[in-house]
Amino acid sequence: MQPRTSRHAVGDGADGRLDAADRVQQHAYERRWWILAVLCFSLLVIVLDNSILNVAIPTLVRDLNASNSDLQWIVDAYTLVFAGLLLTAGALGDRYGRRSALQVGFVVFGLGSLASAFASSSLQLTATRAVMGLGAAAIMPATLSIITNTFPDHERGRAIGVWAGTAGLGSALGPLTGGFLLEHFYWGSVFLVNLPIVVVGLVAGIILIPNSKDPAAPRVDPLGAALSIVGLMVLLYAIIEAPERGWTDPTTIGGIVVGLAVLGGFAWHEWRSDHPMLDVHFFANPRFSAASGAITLTFFAMFGAMFLLTQYLQFVLGYSPLETGVRLLPLAFTMMITAPLSPRLAERIGTKLTVALGLGLVTAAFLLYQGLTVDSSYGEVAWRLMVMAVGMGLTMAPATESIMGSLPLAKAGVGSAVNDTTRQVGGALGVAVIGSVLATVYGDKITDVLSGTAAPPEAVEAASSSLGGAFTVAEQARAAGTADTVGLAERLLATANAAFVDAMHAGVLVAASATALGVVVVLAFLPARARARDEVRQHAEFAAEHAHDRHVPADVLTPETADQALHHAPAARPVLAPAPEAAAE
């Protein structure tokens, strides 16, 4: 029996001719590498936005009078909404169409970018960044789920490697583009640069990408969606506020407890529901759960470390935003090269050893950061960045493929959302925890220096709140022009730089601990290879999805494979069941 697909995927119009959407579907396999290019371009706008803002942090300190807390909220408002809505957006994409989710996400993201460019305060920028997070929540899971449904299993790992490598490219283009824009235009231009990417992504997506969906999607699960959104947002809110309020503050503890309790309720509801948004049984597969844990720990370390590193390059070493962007190129280009090659290594030695090797290299890089000082040269920074980038490249693509390769293709949207949620939750937690370490170590040292001087309390508070604040206070002291204030300014700057480097050393030790834990998790739980029944099921589902695409080679659409999947993997039955109109024939 040749697998059949429903007319929403490939079918004839009322007059027997293919409509435009069907023609796109029938050429999906032939155009798969062009589709990958569009999806990577779509991913680029999200990654670009994260990394472009890192370079703008010192500018926001000066132009918007942003404190450390304000900076964390500007960064994490995006992450809060993004992570909170990912599961819901991924599930809706599976039900209503992944290309549709991509297009809606682009429109919302573009509007949020436009509003962000003209924000006049930290509060406004935080709100508009939240709108951008809403759009990103629709875009990111759609990109990975479309890749999973477009590429056959023997090519999927390499396609995901290119997708992961694009993240490395974005991390380079972000600081570089942001630095250029900040030197020639006002800070809002770092958001306006998103608009051309949004327009190109919208047009190219309509022309090239088929609107795939789950042909047996369950009805909408509003309670599950509400529980996931509330639980993730409350948890992340508590994490983000922890550096400001303190980790033992009742608000912090209460938020973490409530967030985890609501997420526990979400898991219980999904386990009992006959139409779950997220099938929690997916976590029983160690390729899914162990890889998700590894990605969470990786992004915890990476986001936290980059929060420190961009400030180190600009404030301590004295590079301009553009110069900082150029000096982050080794990180991005190394990752861009390594990530697409990592699936080939995983094919040889297995996912377990590849990911463990990558996390081990990242851990070593963070430990090597202990050698950086206030007088370090750029060369000392660059080779450490490259070691970290190789490790990241070896980790992200195989771990992501492990997650996507363990799921039914019909659930690729929500599966991709889980993958993306682990990244965002891990990243937010990394910025909060490592940011707390930075604030504690740095703030204590600065307060000790200024406590015995005649500096006013507001100057002490500003200088101890951030390195940028210390620079501002020093400039004001210099402007006073007296011998005492000039001397105080020099002592403050020297102490602030040394204090920041000490705080950075403490922060990257926390990052190294996280990635070292990731090595343990991977070696203990992550299988080296996919389970046979997962491979058979996905092969059969791909054959069903592309049965009418005449461009797919015959050996990919093997009827026997579908029969094997139906026998060995009953979960594939709803995906392979013929549509009502097909049954009627």
Distance CA 62, CA 67 (A): 10
Residue 150 has pLDDT above 50, yes or no: yes
Residue 24 has pLDDT above 70, yes or no: no
Confidence of residue 14 (pLDDT cuts 50, 70, 90): very low
Residue 576 has pLDDT above 50, yes or no: no
Whose CA is closest to 390, among 407, 371, 365, 414? 365
Confidence of residue 435 (pLDDT cuts 50, 70, 90): confident
Distance CA 55, CA 311 (A): 8
**What is the pLDDT of the chain when averaged over all its residues?**
77
Residue 273 has pLDDT above 70, yes or no: yes
Distance CA 47, CA 38 (A): 15
Q: What DSSP string describes 76-87?
A: HHHHHHHHHHHH
* Helix or strand (DSSP H, E) at 357: helix 351-368
Residue 235 has pLDDT above 50, yes or no: yes
pLDDT tens for 130-147 read 899 889 888 888 888 888
Distance CA 106, CA 101 (A): 9
Residues sharing a CB contact under 8 Å with residue 458, sequence separation 6 or more, in sequence order: none
Cβ atoms of 105 and 138 within 8 Å: the answer is yes
More confident residue, 100 or 280: 100
Distance CA 353, CA 528 (A): 7
Distance CA 144, CA 153 (A): 14
Whose CA is closest to 153, among 552, 584, 575? 552
More confident residue, 99 or 478: 99
More confident residue, 341 or 578: 341
Distance CA 298, CA 526 (A): 15
pTM of the model: 0.77
More confident residue, 186 or 354: 354
Cβ atoms of 6 and 579 within 8 Å: the answer is yes
pLDDT of residue 326: 81
Domain ranges of the chain: 220-275, 443-485, 532-584
Residue 250 has pLDDT above 50, yes or no: yes
Distance CA 315, CA 58 (A): 8
Distance CA 77, CA 88 (A): 18
Amino acid (one-letter) located at 239: I
Cβ atoms of 270 and 231 within 8 Å: the answer is no
pLDDT of residue 585: 34
Confidence of residue 215 (pLDDT cuts 50, 70, 90): low
Cβ atoms of 148 and 409 within 8 Å: the answer is yes
Residues sharing a CB contact under 8 Å with residue 6, sequence separation 6 or more, in sequence order: 215, 578, 579, 581, 582
Confidence of residue 583 (pLDDT cuts 50, 70, 90): very low
Confidence of residue 539 (pLDDT cuts 50, 70, 90): low
Q: Could you tell me what percent of the chain has a pLDDT over 90?
A: 13
